[in-house]
Amino acid sequence: MDVSALKRDLEGIKLDDNPAIVQQKSRDFYWYSPVLKQQLDHVTGDLIVTPKTEAELIRVLAACHRHGVPVTPRGSGTGNYGQAMPLSGGVVLNLAEMNEIKSIAPGRVVTGPGAVLADIDKATRAHSGQELRLSPSTYNTASIGGFIAGGSGGVGSINFGGLRDFGNVLRLRVVTMEAEPKVLELTGEDLHKVTHAYGTNGIITEVEMPLTAAYEWVDVIVGFDASFMDAARYGNALACQDGILAKLITPIAAPVPQLYFKRHQKFFREGQSICVVMVAQHGLDAFLAFTRRAGGEVIFNAATATAEEKKGLPPAYELAWNHTTLRALRVDPDITYLQSLYPFPNQLALVEKMDAMFPGEVFSHLEFVRLDGNITCFGLPLVKFTTEARLDEIVRLHEDNGCPIFNPHRYTLEEGGMKQTDAVQLAFKRETDPQGLLNPGKMIAWENPDYDYRSGRTFLFKGLQKAG
Ligand code: FAD
């Protein structure tokens, strides 16, 4: 890899090879996982390249192709699976400055890949009272390109499902990694080639996303003294209320709120499990009536809380999704987590079974979502980490009981996902990145087509072993 020759070819484009900056921009939230922390801690790129336009980006890709230099795209680096970490070194392609909001129309917005989600919403709200359908809880920092390539869903998934569901991305412009990079426009079925592909088969340079009506969202926390399952059943029933517009429904088991939600602690009684909700302001009365009838106690309501009570509180979504784990990790570094699905229609029975299985070791945290028209829930349970072997055993016990795990302790697409080859994404990579230079080591199907996903072993990327 001849980085000096590459630098000469990139004259005029913003570069940074200061080792401290390169290391900082080679990292994401991989350290969430004790397993990834150990495997990826040494990973660093050689050069940060920050194109401002698609034309500059094409120059970067052509030059890297010519010099055989790997390229790992990066939005804001908030991925928690090590997605944006350059396992074989090379160029970290920083897309943060391709952040233009290009056009807004009824139901749609067009932006550059580096646009931050909260900035997009600010613009679309001001323009025409619209907002994005879905956002991760890292809304204030994450980029739209990184969300599409590395995320899956989040706040809003209770109404719209996941990012990979038809209609949740409208169009992507993608540049290939070839001697003469091509620019492709993908829509419909073709979008699945690059959504959640970790940037292994093309760089997204423009996105067109659907919008929905923006309302004032009210943060509410509902408490349940008797048991976590009361909070879970309430969350499920609220999600099934077709007339109440909620954007977030998050049951969390005691003692997580009491131990880790430092700023909200004053609102919780000992032993109380909670359900964190974002509800549309115009639906608040109906929501409160439903909650009373369902036996929930409103312990925090942003619409009626005093300024003193609200002082310093993070927004509700920053208690939810992966922020629950972040808050726990800040207090107890031995906490880790899993990402699971409790498939419809047995979600509540499965939640109850798994909640009872690991007392004092695994603490339930659910996120209600609408998937294929049905209400069900994902889990992001917190786990008191002891050993990797025990973590693997907890994963196996979930899977043996019919709860698939999207393993956040693996850096490959397949192991963190459905544990099978995505033939569409693999075929697209053959077309768009024939030399395998984009984000190497993340797609097992490319690195080792004969890999046996049932082997029970963790895939180890050869390039990473060498770098270590
Ligand atoms: P990055 O981390 O920079 O990149 C993500 C992946 O996309 C990488 O593989 C990168 O190589 C690739 N990529 C980036 N830009 C491009 C591009 N233009 N073209 C091609 N590939 C590209 N995720 C969720 O889905 N839902 C959540 O609710 C959620 N909550 C989170 C909470 C916390 C506290 C943390 C730490 C993470 C959370 N995440 C969540 C994960 C992550 O924050 C989101 O997926 C986020 O949208 C990623 O955006 P980013 O700009 O930081 O992407």
Same domain, 53 and 166: no
Question: Could you tell me if residue 454 is inside a domain?
Answer: no
80 CA distance to ligand 1 middle (Å): 8
Residue 39 lies in a domain: yes
Beta strands in 347-432 (DSSP E): 362-363, 366-371, 374-379, 382-384
- Which residue in this structure is represented by tokens 């209770």? 158
pLDDT for 465 equals: 59
Q: Are residues 110 and 13 in the same domain?
A: no
Which residue is associated with the tokens 């804001």?
76
Q: Single out the residue in 400, 429, 448 at which a domain terminates.
A: 400
Q: From CA 305, how far away is CA 264, in angstroms rounded?
A: 12
SS3 of residue 239 by DSSP: helix
Report the CATH number at residue 324.
3.40.462.10
**Which pLDDT score, from 0 to 100, does residue 335 have?**
96
| 382 lies in the same domain as 287 | yes
275 and 367 co-located in one domain: yes
Same domain membership, residue 366 and residue 246: yes
410 belongs to a structural domain: no
The answer to whether the predicted template modeling score (pTM) of the entire model surpasses 0.95 is yes
Is residue 138 helix, strand or coil? coil
| Structural domain contains residue 447 | no
Identity at 62, one-letter amino acid code: A
> How high is the pLDDT of residue 176?
98
CA distances from 436 to 92, 190, 199, 215 (A): 15, 20, 12, 44
Domain end residue (candidates: 213, 242, 262): 213
Domain membership of residue 290 (yes or no) is yes
Contacts 24+ apart (CB under 8 A), 254-263: 254/228, 255/363, 256/324, 256/328, 256/363, 256/365, 256/382, 259/328, 259/331, 259/332, 260/324, 260/327, 260/328, 260/330, 260/331, 260/332, 261/319, 261/327, 262/327, 262/331, 263/312, 263/313, 263/314
Residue nearest to atom 41 of ligand 1 (CA): 79
Report which protein residue has its CA nearest ligand 1's atom 47. 147
* Atom number in ligand 1 closest to CA 98: 18
CA of 294 from ligand 1 middle (Å) equals 36
Q: What are 334's strand-pairing partners? A: none
| 206 alpha carbon – ligand 1 mean position (Å) | 16
CA distance 288 to 232: 17
Q: Which atom of ligand 1 is nearest to the CA of 149?
A: 7
Q: Is residue 467 part of a domain?
A: no
Residues 244 and 302 in one domain: yes
Evaluate whether residue 463 is within a structural domain. Answer: no
Please name the residues in contact with 442: beta carbons below 8 A apart, sequence gap of 6 or more.
Answer: 83, 87, 198, 200, 411, 412, 413
261 and 142 housed in the same domain: no
Beta strands of 125-240 (E only): which ranges?
Answer: 130-132, 171-175, 183-187, 203-213, 217-224
179: CB partners within 8 A, 6+ apart = 62, 65, 66
In the chain, how many domains are there? 3
Euclidean distance between CA atoms 118 and 137, whole angstroms:
11
User: What is the distance in A from the centroid of ligand 1 to the CA of 145?
Assistant: 8
CATH number of the domain to which 89 belongs:
3.30.43.10
* Residues spanned by the domain of 165: 101-213
Among protein residues, the one whose CA lies closest to atom 43 of ligand 1: 78
Q: 42 burial class (0-12, 13-18, 19+ CB within 10 angstroms)?
A: exposed
- Both 390 and 316 in one domain: the answer is yes
Distance 436 CA to ligand 1 centre (A): 21
Residues 204 and 221 both lie in one domain: no
Q: Is the domain of 346 the same as that of 254?
A: yes
Question: Of 99, 215, 162, whose CA–CA distance to 406 is shortest?
Answer: 162
Q: What three-state secondary structure class fits 35?
A: helix
CA of 147 to the centre of ligand 1 (A): 5
The reply to whether 120 and 160 lie within a common domain is yes
Q: Decide if 242 is inside a domain.
A: yes
Q: Which residue do the tokens 């109404």 mark?
A: 159
- 167 and 315 share a domain? no
Domain final position from 50, 72, 94: 94
Residues with CB under 6 A from ligand 1: 28-29, 72-80, 83-84, 95, 113, 136-138, 142-143, 145-147, 149-154, 198-199, 203-204, 321-323, 326, 439
What pLDDT tens digit does each residue of the chain (468 aa) get?
A: 778 899 999 999 999 999 999 999 999 999 999 999 999 999 999 999 999 999 999 999 999 999 999 999 999 999 999 999 999 999 999 999 999 999 999 999 999 999 999 999 999 999 999 999 999 999 999 999 999 999 999 999 999 999 999 999 999 999 999 999 999 999 999 999 999 999 999 999 999 999 999 999 999 999 999 999 999 999 999 999 999 999 999 999 999 999 999 999 999 999 999 999 999 999 999 999 999 999 999 999 999 999 999 999 999 999 999 999 999 999 999 999 999 999 999 999 999 999 999 999 999 999 999 999 999 999 999 999 999 999 999 999 999 999 999 999 999 999 988 788 899 999 999 999 999 999 999 999 999 988 888 787 788 888 775 544
Q: What is the distance in A from the centroid of ligand 1 to the CA of 151?
A: 5
Residues in CB range of 450: below 8 A, 6 or more apart:
none
